[in-house]
Structure formats: structure tokens, C-alpha cells
Structure 1
Amino acid sequence: MSNIEDIVDSLEHKISKVLLKVDHLKQANLKLTEDLALARQEIQAQERLNMDWEEKYKALKIANSMLGSDDNKKETKLKINALIRDIDHCIAQLSD
């Protein structure tokens, strides 16, 4: 009889260890999930910041080309020609 009780006690002890490990794993999983969500938010913020800087860079590049910097003479001429075509198109539409 005591042999069966020992087996039952051993099983109860093992089950309690397993349940404790499950609780620890659930807590670790929750922490990792929260860390992942935070990391994703940081990545999105960095991507938005990167896009903002890219837009500012493009605007600065266009401004420099409009000012006629020596580095971008060809781009400046092309941009001015495009603007003249746009203005001519607008004038033609107003004339109709």
C-alpha cells in the first residue's frame, strides 16, 4: 500500500514541477511578446524617421539644383525646362 502512495506522491511532485515550469514559460513568453511588440514599434518609428529624412534630402537636393550649384548643373537645367513646360501648359489651358 505504501508503494502506491509513494508512486502517487512522486507523480504529484513531478506534476507540480511541470506546472511550475509551464508557469515560468508562460511568463517568459509574455515578456518576449511584449519585447517583440516594443521592438516593432521602435522599427516603425525608425522607418518613419528614415522616410522623413529621405524626403528632406530630396527637397534639399532639388533646392540646390534650383539654386544652380555646380554639382547639379544638368539637373538644374532639366528642372528649369520642366518648370517652363509646365508653365507653358498652364498658359495654354488658360488661353483656351
Structure 2
Amino acid sequence: MSKIVEIVSALEQKIAKMLHKIKQLEAKNEDLERKLDQSILLLKTQEEEKNSLQKELEHIKMASALLGSEEYKRDTKLKINSLIREIDYCIAQLSQ
């Protein structure tokens, strides 16, 4: 009977250790999930900021070209030609 008590006692200790380890892992998992959520939010914010800055750069390039800057004149001409083609296409669609 003493042998069974020892086995049960050892088993209880192992179970207690396992439960403690599970709680530690759950806490670590929650921490990692929180950090992941923060990283995802930061990534989205940075992506939005990048897009905003790209749009601002395009506007600056356009304004610079319109003010006579040689550097972006070609880009502006291409953009204007593209817009003219779109307008012509729309007019053609309306005419049909």
C-alpha cells in the first residue's frame, strides 16, 4: 500500500509541475499575442504613413514640374497625356 501512496504522490507532484508549466506557457502566449497585435497595428500605421508620403511626393513632383523644374517635366507630360487619353475614352463612350 505504501508503494501506491508513493506513486500517487509522485504523480501529483508531476501534475502540479505540468499545471504550473501550462500556466507559464499560457501567460507567455498571451504576451506574444499582445506583442503581435501591437506589431500589426504599427505595421498598418507605417503603411498608411508611407502611402501618404508617396502621395505627397507625387504632388510635390507635379507642382515642381508645373513651376518649371526640368527634373519632373517628363513625368508630368506623361501624366497629362494619360489623363487626356482617359478623357478621350470617356468622350468616345458617351458618344456611342
Structure 1-normalised TM-score?
A: 0.77
Instruction: Please tell me whether the aligned partners of residues 62 and 72 of structure 2 are also in contact (alpha carbons under 8 angstroms).
Output: no
Aligned match of 1:24: 24
Deviations 1:35-76 (A, max 9, x none): 000000000000011011000000000001111112233345
Aligned match of 1:94: none
CA separation of 1:12 and 1:67: change in aligned 2, threshold 3 A: same
Aligned match of 1:66: 66
Instruction: Please tell me whether the aligned partners of residues 65 and 72 of structure 1 are also in contact (alpha carbons under 8 angstroms).
Output: yes
Aligned residues: 85
Q: CA RMSD for the aligned pairs?
A: 2.1
**Per the alignment, in what secondary structure is the counterpart of residue 31 of structure 1?**
helix
How far apart in 2 are the matches of 1:26 and 1:77? 60
Point out the structure with max Rg over C-alpha: 1
How far apart in 1 are the matches of 2:34 and 2:79? 49
* Structure with the larger helix share: 1
Percent of pairs with identical residues: 36
Aligned match of 1:54: 54
Runs of at least 5 residues in structure 2 that lack an aligned partner in the other structure: 89-96
Structure 2-normalised TM-score?
A: 0.77
Aligned match of 2:6: 6
Q: Which runs of 4+ in 1 moved over 6 A?
A: 80-83
